[in-house]
A and B are shown apart, each in its own frame.
Chain A
Amino acid sequence: MRNEINVIWEKCTGCGRCIPECPLSAIVLENKKAKILPNCSFCGICVKACPFEAIELKRQEKVVDLSEYKGVWVFAEQRERKIMPVTLELLSVGRELADKLGVKLSLLLLGDEEKNVEQLRKYPLDRIYLIQDSLLNYYRTNLYTRAIADLVKEEKPEIILVGATSIGRDLAPRLATRLQTGLTADCTSLEIDKKNRNLIQIRPAFGGNIMATIVSPYHRPQIATVRPKIMKKASPKNERKAEVILIKPKLSSEKIAVNILDLIKEESGVKDLQEAEIVVSGGRGLGRAENFSLIKKLADLLGGAVGASRAVVDAGWIPSYHQVGQTGKTVQPKLYIACGISGAIQHQVGMRTSETIVAINKDPEAPIFNIATYGIVEDLHKFIPLLIDRLEKAQS
């Protein structure tokens, strides 16, 4: 049967107490009775809120036996045969979730790089699934989807965590669709609802202005991509001695479909943005594209990387791989200097966890000052050259 929600006409007094409780504004009063609109998600919050038991919810029967699904899996992202740092972040949050559920934490490692097995066994996990095939040494959508989906169908994990990177966000939706299950993108916080073992997934939406809590109550596995640089990294101490399970997948090179001819590095200075200890970013306050040289000069002097706001990327002043924010990169440097950036929420989402934030802006009302460790209300065209001068003197 399909989900059904009804207001029992005789019981509803039109008190309206359910209306503010609904997270989706899906209840209105019509002729002094509550009316449920089509955007209702059948979450059941209104049912509990109604003092008169006037709302009745019949949920779709569960299609799968959820109790068959056990365990937390983490996808190990590798580039050029090296483990990416996001994998260690997933292991720390994965460990917490597995402990709360009282289940094993397993790592999915694809390819034939044996030294990665030894490296990863040092981390607090219980099991490594090594899907071993040299065809998997490089990430390819269809081979990875096939190999992982086959294993999921056999082993039935309840949660799979994947990094929200250009690889993870290519793989996870393909995998979730093949498995016909729920996927939540770019999560910044994960919890367990102990009542029903649901994964509570929290993520920003609408450019980071709003946070949303998402669950997949009737589907397993629950898959989430996790934003890099948000979770802390797991530390390499494992008392458990992870067992290694070797899987030989059934793959053939004819199934590759998309051939990778070459991998080309971006110009230097780009790759550093997410790993940089210091980031100097420019925004609309720079006035025009040429003034980015000022940002670059300050960044060079401090040994930092150059970042940018969405507005200046949209204006074409600087390529988008410099963009920091909700639709750009998340950075977490020791020092972040925002120059001429007003600090819209969409930007803040990408940098507010930086250890020290310096904001330079001539508008004292700019929202960036709300999160700055040090705020400087000055015209950047005047202040940055002054700062550069003082820094040069201090360094010589």
Chain B
Amino acid sequence: MHIIVCIKQVPDTEEIQKVKINPQTNTIVRESIKSIINPFDENAIEEALRIKEKNSAFVTVISMGPPQAEEALRKALAMGADKAIILSDRSFAGSDTLATSYTLASAIKKIGNFDLILLGKQAIDGDTAQVGPGVAEWLQIPQITYVRKIHIDGKMIRAERSLEDSFELVEANLPVLVTVTKEINEPRYPSLRGLLKAKTTKITHWTSQDLQVDLKKVGLDGSATQVIRVFTPEPPPRGEILIGSASQKADKLIKELKKRNLV
């Protein structure tokens, strides 16, 4: 069995709050922001490893991004992935989700055989959740999104797909593409042995030439959407801070809420 996991390097969850706009220049300030593997993608790696442990699978991890994204791939290798491929090329810069999913799908086609493709449900920087279904469409395979449980049985997959107030139990023949939520598992920490192995494993580097992609479909040229402006959201009006002792505040609050017919 061959599992391919697509991952993205993103700004750290804690540090994402520090992403601000410089009011003078109206541009995004991202200085000194630490990078991590997108947390949902870590769940995808973990799930691939768990399936590998049960069903003896081979796990390939791929990432599109600048050369620094190798760092994310090294961590995936340290967790236990077997092979890592970075898709990095100047022509990929500025990709929207349409161009990104095309590039990832081109790499998956080059890899060839696969049974399962895993991704996190979305990346925490863009929050679009569009790349997974996009890749599935380029590959013309079925997708199951927002999955919180996977069971592989031979050539079949059973999964629980989360909806807002319920979940679906679904079944499909492999190959399929699955995007996972954080409920699915708790990602492992790399072992010392894993870290040592990851240090010496060679990461394959593919460019647009290696992928033989249509240059009109990658990067900015392949992107249907354009970001034309970024700005800081307006601060909402400031309210009233209640004063007095704790019980006075409680009384005041209940009085105000009663006035508004809320209690």
A residues with CB within 8 A of B? 2-3, 19-25, 38-43, 45, 60, 79, 141-142, 145, 165-167, 169-170, 172-174, 176-178, 180-186, 204-219, 257-266, 270-271, 274, 278, 302, 314, 319-321, 326-327, 329, 334-335, 344-346, 348-349, 352, 356-358, 364, 369-378, 382-383, 386-387, 390-391, 394
Query: Which chain A residues border B247 with CB–CB below 8 Å?
Result: 386, 390
A387 with B253, Cβ < 8 A, contacts A177-B98, A271-B164 known: yes
Within residues 224 to 263 of chain B, which ones have a CB less than 8 A from any CB in chain A? Answer: 224-233, 235-236, 238-242, 246-247, 249-251, 253-254, 256-258, 260, 262-263
**Are A174 and B136 within 8 A (Cβ)?**
yes
Nearest CB of chain B from residue A264's CB, rounded to whole Å: 6
Other A-B pairs, 20, CB within 8 Å; known A24-B28, A41-B220, A394-B258: A2-B221, A23-B26, A23-B230, A141-B143, A166-B163, A170-B145, A176-B134, A183-B98, A185-B128, A213-B231, A261-B169, A261-B170, A264-B166, A335-B260, A345-B233, A369-B241, A373-B240, A374-B239, A374-B240, A386-B250
CA distance A52 to B129 in the complex (A): 42
CA distance A173 to B96 in the complex (A): 12
Within residues 53 to 104 of chain B, which ones have a CB less than 8 A from any CB in chain A? Answer: 90, 93-94, 96-98, 101
CA distance A371 to B239 in the complex (A): 6
Nearest CB of chain A from residue B169's CB, rounded to whole Å: 4
Interface of A is mostly: mixed
B residues with CB within 8 A of A? 11, 13, 16-17, 19-21, 24-28, 39, 90, 93-94, 96-98, 101, 122, 124-134, 136-138, 142-146, 158, 161-173, 176, 181-183, 215-216, 220-221, 223-233, 235-236, 238-242, 246-247, 249-251, 253-254, 256-258, 260, 262-263
**Are B17 and A344 within 8 A (Cβ)?**
yes
**Are A374 and B256 within 8 A (Cβ)?**
yes
CA distance A377 to B240 in the complex (A): 11
Query: Which chain A residues border B142 with CB–CB below 8 Å?
Result: 141-142, 257-258
A25 with B166, Cβ < 8 A, contacts A41-B228, A186-B128, A259-B171 known: no
CB-defined A-B contacts under 8 Å, sample of 14: A3-B221, A40-B220, A41-B94, A178-B137, A185-B129, A258-B171, A320-B183, A356-B257, A356-B260, A369-B238, A369-B241, A370-B236, A378-B246, A387-B254
**Are A375 and B143 within 8 A (Cβ)?**
no
